[in-house]
Amino acid sequence: MAKLYKFHKKDINRYRKVYRYIRKKPVYEYCSGAAFEMVAGYVDFTILQGGGPITLVYPQGTNFKNIPVVTATSVDYFSDNSANVNVFITSVTVNEVQVSVSAPFHGRVHLMIVGQD
């Protein structure tokens, strides 16, 4: 099941209509109609660790009510052409996520964690 979080742009300088000779510059903020939590992070892998799993605990202040959706991508952070691996999620809970890779490599795995309602 998919959930759409649609953000709309709102100008905070236009809460009330004031017709001046010189208009204020618009200052925009993006608002969502539903509760939205997102965590972006990374995990470094070394060849000595093998294929994992490596556990990433969510930062302080995140309180997911349900199990979040996690997206993982391997990145050749150290420029040694070793990021040709398959990244997969071993387990996901409301407090942490475990990430593994298909082969030992020296690089970084970027994670995008989005909470569900």
Domains parsed from the chain with CATH numbers: 36-114 (2.60.40.2080)
pLDDT per residue over 44-57, tens digit each? 887 766 667 888 88
Largest Cα–Cα distance of the chain, in whole Å? 67
113, 58 Cβ separation under 8 angstroms = yes
Q: What is the DSSP string of 49-62?
A: GTT--EEEEPPTT-
Closest to 110 in 3D by CA, of 50, 20, 45: 45
Closest to 56 in 3D by CA, of 112, 11, 99: 99
Instruction: Output the average pLDDT for the chain.
Output: 79
108, 45 Cβ separation under 8 angstroms = yes
The structure's pTM equals 0.69
pLDDT at 117: 64
Q: Tell me the C-alpha distance between 49 and 47, whole Å.
A: 5
Average pLDDT for residues 109-114, to the nearest whole number?
88
pLDDT at 2: 46
pLDDT per residue over 29-77, tens digit each? 888 776 778 888 888 887 766 667 888 888 887 778 888 889 999 887 7
